[in-house]
Amino acid sequence: MLAFMVAGYETTSTALAWFIHFMSKHPHVQEKIKEELMSNGDSQNLTLDQLDALVYLDCVINEAFRYFPPIEGTIRTLTVDDRLPDSGIQLYKGDSVYIPLYNLAHDSRYWSIDPELFCPERFLSEDSSHNPYALLPFGGGHRQCIGQDLGRFELKVIIARMMQQVTFVDGGPKVNSGGHLTRFTILPKHVGVAIEFAQ
């Protein structure tokens, strides 16, 4: 239970903080989320079908995960000796291999649209069939995140409800300069936004 609390809290809140920062910097993306919500019956009680229909919102969440995956990387320990297929590098039982989730998500070899651009539309166009191993915000294989469905669901519901009520506006270069700190998660450093409430 302790592992669930530790692994589930800061990851999800960090993803939400990044979302707020990105929205303040990309007002047209925020507008498109709101339009999608409106066209799906913008009700207070969102049904599962309504949430499932928010395809553009899924792209925005994926792009936030790609741009700053809350967990920078993960580690696997070899249980047998092995050799990497392309480079021929020899690895031995007991070696630890670091899998750099952030670097994979920003490696231009795996993305058609410049990976340094925040562009949710990539998942509906050139990058819709990206290399699956280039985007692993929840890790992969037997030890992938056990809470990923809950994490994604929480984020989608919270974001959809927020986008029905408020708009995040850039608070200016001094307070909303971005940057990041790496602790347990990759945290945004300066997120200063104004919040406009819907009438």
- Is 56 a binding residue for ligand HEM by CB under 6 A? The answer is no
- Is 188 a binding residue for ligand HEM by CB under 6 A? The answer is no
Distance of closest approach, residue 107 Cβ to ligand HEM, in angstroms? 17
Contact between residue 187 and residue 180 where contact means Cβ atoms under 8 Å apart: yes
- Is 139 a binding residue for ligand HEM by CB under 6 A? The answer is yes
Rounded CA separation 44/72 (Å): 35
Q: Is 145 annotated as a binding residue?
A: yes
Residue 162, SS3? helix
- Residues whose CB is less than 8 angstroms from the CB of residue 162 and which lie 6 or more positions away in sequence, other chains included: none
Residues 165-184 close enough to bind ligand HEM by CB under 6 A: none
Reading the block at residue 28, the tokens are 């047209």
- Is 68 a binding residue for ligand HEM by CB under 6 A? The answer is no
Distance of closest approach, residue 138 Cβ to ligand HEM, in angstroms? 5
Strand ranges in the chain using DSSP code E only, listed in sequence order: 74-77, 82-83, 90-91, 96-99, 166-170, 178-182, 186-190, 193-197
- Is 145 a binding residue for ligand HEM by CB under 6 A? The answer is yes
Distance of closest approach, residue 137 Cβ to ligand HEM, in angstroms? 5
- Is 138 a binding residue for ligand HEM by CB under 6 A? The answer is yes
- Is 74 a binding residue for ligand HEM by CB under 6 A? The answer is yes
